[in-house]
Amino acid sequence: MQDFNSFTLENLTVTGDEDGVVQVILSRPNKRNALNADTIEELIEVFSKLPRMGARAVVLRALGDHFCAGLDLVEHHTEDRRPEDFMHLCLRWHEAFNKMEYGGVPIIAALKGAVVGGGLELASSAHVRVADQSTYFALPEGQRGLFTGGGATIRVADLVGKARMIDMMLTGRVYKQEEAMQVGLCQYHIDGSSDDKAMELARLAAQNPPLSNFAICSAISHMQNMSALDAAYAESVVAGIVNTQPASKERLEAFANKTAARVRPD
Ligand code: 1HE
């Protein structure tokens, strides 16, 4: 396991512990963690390296009251980008978010305040989303005269369905609290701190064998992109490797010996 505290970054902070539980912290609170081009490059760097550094689980959280205000609108305005400039920028967003979704390391997003536009695209690239009482979700692209460019048409549509996503973009509809969970924007909606809950979930996930987590946090996403026939084939191959790993043999032996925990409702 390498030193998770060795990154030199301006817009993110990365810290990790000896259990391989890493925190990636959006650190531009004065700009409500808006995603400028530099932050995207830093996300690419971090999420390219973490899987090879021995990270067992990641909590993606933010400084300040808001998780992320989306695309840095001021930078976009100032740069006066041409279509091809913005297309290439979007490709960098996709690079970052694909590294997250397909990287094989569980990412738990701790959400609060605004999770809007590109901020929702970022959150939807994590594997688990935890919201607190302050969290709200929106896609204000329509109101800004913009369109999504960081994968919302794929990931947000996947979470909430096409019709809800279109409504969010056309009308600026905001989802929060129980309703946000019901429509699939988050899997947890809690009274306390989403940071603490995300950490608790990350610690649980980190106890699974890394190869199992790798399959869970990459194979399922890849298989969603395949035909059912190909996905079933790929699933067999992945299961062949994962379900015969030494770590699974130990756990199966514990079950057979009646020393492993049973699955109980509470
Ligand atoms: C920003 C941004 C930003 C804040 N880009 N600088 N996203 C949006 O449409 C959301 C835009 N932001 C907001 O609606 C509000 O800022 C918040 C609801 C998130 C927070 O409100 P508030 O009252 O706490 O903060 P504020 O006073 O609006 O902003 C504080 C500072 O953050 C201010 O900078 P300052 O230097 O004047 O102090 C703001 O300019 C700055 N700030 N949000 C840049 N987004 C790949 S395509 C994706 C397309 C999209 O993401 S569209 C959705 C864009």
Say what the pLDDT of residue 266 is: 87
80 Cα: distance to centroid of ligand 1 (angstroms): 18
The pTM assigned to this predicted structure is 0.98
Is there a domain that residue 261 lies in?
Answer: no
**C-alpha to C-alpha distance for 146 and 15, rounded to whole angstroms:** 34
Same structural domain, 13 and 105: yes
Same structural domain, 214 and 171: no
The answer to whether residue 121 is catalytic is: yes
Say what the pLDDT of residue 52 is: 96
Same structural domain, 179 and 53: yes
Q: From atom 37 of ligand 1, which residue's Cα is the shortest distance away? A: 31
Say what the pLDDT of residue 180 is: 98
Sheet with strand 128-131: strands edge to edge: 12-16, 21-26, 57-62, 107-111, 128-131, 188-189
Q: What is the mean pLDDT of residues 129-135?
A: 98
Q: What is the mean pLDDT of residues 217-223?
A: 98
Same structural domain, 228 and 136: no
Say what the pLDDT of residue 1 is: 67
CB neighbourhood size of 52 (10 A): 10
Of the pLDDT bands very low, low, confident and very high (cuts 50, 70, 90), residue 2 is: confident
Is there a domain that residue 265 lies in?
Answer: no
Residue from 10, 18, 42, 141 carrying the catalytic annotation:
141
**Quick check: CB of 32 below 6 Å from ligand 1?**
yes
Same structural domain, 220 and 158: no
The atom of ligand 1 lying closest to the CA of 119 is: 51
What CATH number did the domain enclosing 162 receive? 3.90.226.10
Is there a domain that residue 262 lies in?
Answer: no
What is the tens place of the pLDDT at every residue in 116-125? 999 999 999 9
As a residue count, the chain comes to 266
Same structural domain, 194 and 214: no
Same structural domain, 239 and 201: no
Same structural domain, 19 and 110: yes
Number of domains in the chain: 2
Of the pLDDT bands very low, low, confident and very high (cuts 50, 70, 90), residue 55 is: very high
Q: What is the mean pLDDT of residues 214-218?
A: 98
Q: What is the mean pLDDT of residues 52-61?
A: 98
Same structural domain, 87 and 22: yes
**Quick check: CB of 148 below 6 Å from ligand 1?**
yes
pLDDT(137) > 70: yes
pLDDT(83) > 90: yes
Same structural domain, 166 and 130: yes
What CATH number did the domain enclosing 222 receive? 1.10.12.10
Same structural domain, 59 and 130: yes
Quote the domain boundaries for residue 217. 210-256
Mutate-to-test residue for ligand 1 from 28, 31, 155, highest number of ligand atoms within 8 A of CB: 31
Mutate-to-test residue for ligand 1 from 32, 121, 143, highest number of ligand atoms within 8 A of CB: 32
Burial of 152-166, coded b for 16+ CB within 10 Å and e otherwise, reads: bebbbbbbbeeebbe
The answer to whether residue 178 is catalytic is: no
Same structural domain, 163 and 251: no
